[in-house]
Amino acid sequence: MEKKNIKIGIFGGGRGSAFYNSISANGGEIVAVCDYNEACTKKARDRIGEGVALYTDFDEFIAHEGLEAVVLSNYFHEHAPYAIRALERGIHVLSECISNATMAEGVELVRAAEKSAAIYMLAENYPYMSFNREMRRVYRDGTLGKVLFAEGEYNHPLDPEDIETEVQLCPSSTHWRYQLPRTYYVTHSLAPLMYITGASPVRITAMPVYAPIGEGHNGISKGVPERAAVITCLNDDESVFRVTGCAAFGSHESSYRVCAEKGQIESLRDGTGRVLLCYNEWELPEGALAPRSCYLPANNDKDAALAKKAGHGGGDFYVIREFLNCIREGRKPEFDVYFATKTASVAILGHRSMLENGTPYDIPDFRREEDRVRFENDRLTPFYSSDGTAPSLVGSKREYYWSTEEGRAEYDASVAEYRKSKEEK
């Protein structure tokens, strides 16, 4: 007999609303939504229906009768404490990235996941884009040989004239995006390479791309003068990755390249979703018609039509499907708590490397207790806490107007002025 729908709660009704259709399409039933903004929860009821329970308190939310799983789509840097509380109640967790904003939170998250009978999965969606799934297929077929070097870029500049988007994304100078270090939003560039190749970082170094944008700077990383961080990762298989965090150089796009012993495969930057597959002429695999081929990957997935309607190139659909399938089948997801905390460690320690002129950092493996002990009290953070506690780590080593008290006050005043002008209209 087919299992009943899995009862799911959404924490964070803004970003969380993007998953509603994918949850329903994959046999999930949204029974509760929690958001501190009551207007957001009311919008959820309008979309989901009168039967959904609305909460503004997380503990009351996870105590909802029959709740089996939660999707954590709250603020970027605040996922770990809520994931831990859910896991302690035996509730399955799908957590947006990053999994933990401090090293100590990573230790606590792993320990909670190991004690829990529930599943933890990172909701990283970029690996599921069609070109990345095709690159994984080709690489795992083995015709390219072993990976030697790979690149991943996530470029997200914004129009400085688009004040509405700026205010929406970064509503105050204490918001996490205001002083987001450029290494921290690393999963969209790093996770696809790990997904494609199976390689995992063990040592990293990072360098800043310093280029203050000035008065017209948009809201993403307003308080830092770097446009990007370039992170180099030495991996457990001796390969090397070069990745960015959330970069603001070049044009808006995400691209990936895997270079192996016998050739390479990469996603094209032209926005078509095509891949370029190249072999050395003397190492052409059997059946290959030419050393170079450029093509649009076929999507033969049984749910391709449904995925096409979802965000992030179908990634939002596939990440939900995988999560619910893992619950039903009782299996561990590929993007488990160790995968999640590994990517978070690259983000966190990459920033420290950047602050220290590229000093290398070893990436811990939180399967090992000795690595956990090293970081279990490490709570350095560049973000304001929800209780208003100021950051304990700078966002940049450079002095920068927008990170000063005066600059923050000016930004907040400009946001207030913009909002007032909107109300008057």
pLDDT tens digits for 124-154?
Answer: 999 999 999 999 999 999 999 999 999 999 9
Residue 132 near residue 195, CB atoms below 8 Å: yes
pLDDT value, residue 216: 54
Tell me, yes or no, whether 315 lies in a domain: yes
Please give the residue that has the higher pLDDT: either 289 or 177: 177
Q: What is the mean pLDDT of residues 211-232?
A: 81
pLDDT value, residue 2: 52
The CA distance from 26 to 73, in Å, is 18
Please state the separation of Cα 389 from the chain's center in Å. Answer: 24
Q: Which runs of consecutive H residues, i.e. helices, occur in 120-261?
A: 130-141, 163-169, 187-197
pLDDT-derived band of residue 309, with 50, 70 and 90 as boundaries? confident
Contacts of 155 (CB under 8 A, 6+ apart): 244, 247, 248, 249, 250, 251, 252, 253, 254
Task: State the residue range of the domain holding 324.
Answer: 126-375
Residue 32 near residue 64, CB atoms below 8 Å: yes
Long-range contacts of 271-275 (CB under 8 A, 24+ apart): 272/296, 273/129, 273/130, 273/131, 273/297, 273/313, 274/131, 275/131, 275/134, 275/135, 275/138
Percent of the chain with pLDDT over 90: 81
pLDDT value, residue 219: 56
CATH code of the domain covering residue 183: 3.30.360.10
Residue 407 near residue 401, CB atoms below 8 Å: yes
Tell me, yes or no, whether 299 lies in a domain: yes
pLDDT tens digits for 79-130?
Answer: 999 999 999 999 999 999 899 999 999 999 999 999 999 999 999 999 999 9
Residue 153 near residue 115, CB atoms below 8 Å: no
Encoded tokens for 249: 């150089």
pLDDT tens digits for 183-196?
Answer: 999 999 999 999 99
The total of structural domains in the chain comes to 1
Contacts of 328 (CB under 8 A, 6+ apart): 3, 6
Beta bridge partners of 30: 8
Written as one string, the DSSP assignment of 225-283 is -EEEEEEEEEETTS-EEEEEEEE-SSSSEEEEEEEESSEEEEE-TTSS--EEEEE-GGG
Tell me, yes or no, whether 141 lies in a domain: yes
Percent of the chain with pLDDT over 70: 98
pLDDT tens digits for 371-404?
Answer: 999 999 999 999 999 888 999 999 999 989 999 9
Tell me, yes or no, whether 49 lies in a domain: no
Tell me, yes or no, whether 339 lies in a domain: yes
The CA distance from 257 to 10, in Å, is 34
Tell me, yes or no, whether 138 lies in a domain: yes
* Mean predicted lDDT score pLDDT of the chain: 94
pLDDT value, residue 1: 36
Tell me, yes or no, whether 54 lies in a domain: no
Beta strand segments in 114-225, E: 120-122, 147-155, 201-210
DSSP-derived 3-state class of residue 9: strand
Tell me, yes or no, whether 255 lies in a domain: yes
